[in-house]
A and B are shown apart, each in its own frame.
Chain A
Amino acid sequence: MSEAAAAKPRPAVDFLKIPENGDPYLEGHKCKACGSMYLGERTTCAKCGARGQIEAVKLSNKGKLYVFSIVYRSFPGIQTPYVSAIVDLDGGGTVKGNLIGVEPDPKKISFGMPVEVVYKDALGRKDREGNSYLSYFFQPAS
């Protein structure tokens, strides 16, 4: 393995895709029968039960904040406070992640505010083998 290949970050979750040539993106899996959206591969739709109707789709990098919480107490070693956010992406798919670029203050965050998905290193977290990871974050859309 070349050094360049070894240095390439891995995706923090399976539904974050890092193409060889191109920008990272989030991938959804959509049921062609009923239109429901999933994160991660599957064969059968949990909503309508259709089999073999699931297709991979590229999710939008734009969306709106559905709800959030400001987390002050977490597990040991997890830096707080941070904003845990649930975002409805334009065109379908709901994703949970950290909302960055805002003060962790409920008065500064509004339901429905437009956000964009950005891709950055996973807060310096590495696995046991020392591999780096790429994660996604939400930030207020300019």
Chain B
Amino acid sequence: MSEDVYVLGIDMIKFGRFPDKSLAELGAEAALLALDDAGLKIQDIEAMWCGNLMQANNMVGQQVLQQIGQTGIPVVNCANACATGATAFRDAWLAVKAGAYDVVLAVGVEQMGKGLLGGPGGSRGIPKEGLLGSMTMPAVFAEAGMEHSRKYGTTFEQFAKVSVKNHHHSTLNPKAMYQIETPLEQVMGAEMISYPNTKLMCSVNVDGSAAAVLVSERKAKELGMKRAVKIRASVLTSDPWQERDLVMPDVNTCTRLAAKKAYEMAGVGPDDIDLIELHDCFATAEILHYENLGLCKDGEAGALIDSGATTIGGRIPVNLSGGLLSKGHPLGATGIANIYEISTHLRGEAGKRQVPNAKLGLTHVIGLGSACAIHILEKAA
């Protein structure tokens, strides 16, 4: 068993819309960037995990290797809704942690197209959408946010401030889909999709890829710790039973369970964390996760966004990359892209959005259905 596992190389492509490229080409771009970042060749990689959701039956990992080097290594393709990329990363981590390999590659890649996510409902009989409520993602997360409003009085304006913040952060991230300021009145005045989520409070469907090279401690020492990032915790949970499960997907309980385990595994608490990338698939969701991740007490998330604590320069900056709301959300790539953002800060390479002296960061993703993955990462040298 390897004592610790390190991220030696990690990168992502600038998220955007690339209809003229194949999924494999997009994945290959990120894989090559990550290999270059680690100073390694494809021949150095002993195994690969590939996260992709929409084409999960197409052997996407092998397709990527067909672009960059077919070395005969084991490839595992995995799909876990929006936690897909983080799951690929985690299973790569597990294999190195178990001592099976010293150098592995995790790739997350997705081609999205535009439009609403969620199904029109039911393959039998008649469509249920708009008849039995809504199962579109904006509505599901609107209802999750409204539960917070019900309990604590959280307002439309407070939810909207999340979008103002994350769009602001993205102006400092050249790899984000958008770099556009969106003042509060613009966010609140945008087309209402599903109250209280306006169009600017919904994550952007984009194409994208991200990849990471993970190595054992032995290999990290051999290759150089200077830019290495230590993986202090890797946790995956599914959704524990909740009474409203059947009609109201619960992103809270699985996150709280994962957060508790991750903080225990790392031996740290939320106060020790310098920055966070969390799953802001909708502005409402970010508010919930402030409490789920222990950044504030239950009921105080609205006050936390009001205080500016989660904005760049604040006590605990959240989604400095611009988040899913503005960086974009290519489902299978998101989990690794979040880890890229944290790693970039821990390496001191985040440019204008750099958190000074960042030592510890946390990433969080939710795959509705549900899966929650949390990683805690630490500056190694």
A: residues with CB less than 8 A from B are: 10, 12-13, 36-39, 46-47, 66-75, 78-80, 82, 84-86, 88, 94-98, 106, 111-112, 122-123, 125-127, 133, 135-136
Contacts and interface: CB of A to CB of B under 8 A. Distances in A.
Contact of A70 (B132, B150, B195): B195
A67 B147 contact: yes
A133 B247 contact: no
Given A68-B143, A68-B146, A135-B131, A122 B247 contact: no
A82 to B, nearest CB: 6
Contacts of B243: 36-37, 94
Return the 10 tightest CB-CB contacts between A and B, nearest first: A84-B133, A69-B142, A96-B247, A78-B130, A70-B195, A84-B134, A125-B126, A67-B146, A47-B241, A96-B133
B123 to A, nearest CB: 11
Contacts of B149: 67, 111
Contact of B133 (A75, A86, A88): A86
Interface of B: 116, 120, 125-134, 136, 138-139, 142-143, 146-147, 149-150, 156, 191-197, 241, 243-248
Nearest to B192: A72
A69 B139 contact: yes
- Secondary structure dominating the interface of A: strand
A74 B116 contact: yes
- Secondary structure dominating the interface of B: loop
A110 B169 CA distance: 35
A37 B116 CA distance: 31
Contacts of A67: 143, 146-147, 149-150, 248
B111 to A, nearest CB: 21
Contacts of A96: 132-133, 247-248
A79 to B, nearest CB: 6
A80 B133 CA distance: 11
A122 B126 contact: yes
A111 B150 contact: yes
A10 B122 CA distance: 15
A74 B147 CA distance: 21
A120 B147 CA distance: 28
Contact of B128 (A12, A69, A94): A12
Nearest to A69: B142
A122 B131 contact: yes
B125 A71 contact: no
A12 B192 contact: no
A85 B133 contact: yes
B133 A97 contact: yes
B150 A74 contact: no
Contact of B130 (A98, A111, A112): A98
A61 B289 CA distance: 34
B162 to A, nearest CB: 17
Contact of A78 (B125, B129, B192, B246): B129
Contacts of A127: 125-126
Given A12-B125, A86-B244, A125-B131, 8 more contacts: A12-B131, A69-B143, A82-B130, A95-B247, A96-B133, A98-B130, A106-B156, A125-B126
Contacts of B132: 12-13, 96-98, 135-136
Contacts of B136: 71, 73-75
Contacts of B138: 71, 73
A121 to B, nearest CB: 10
Contacts of B247: 39, 86, 94-96
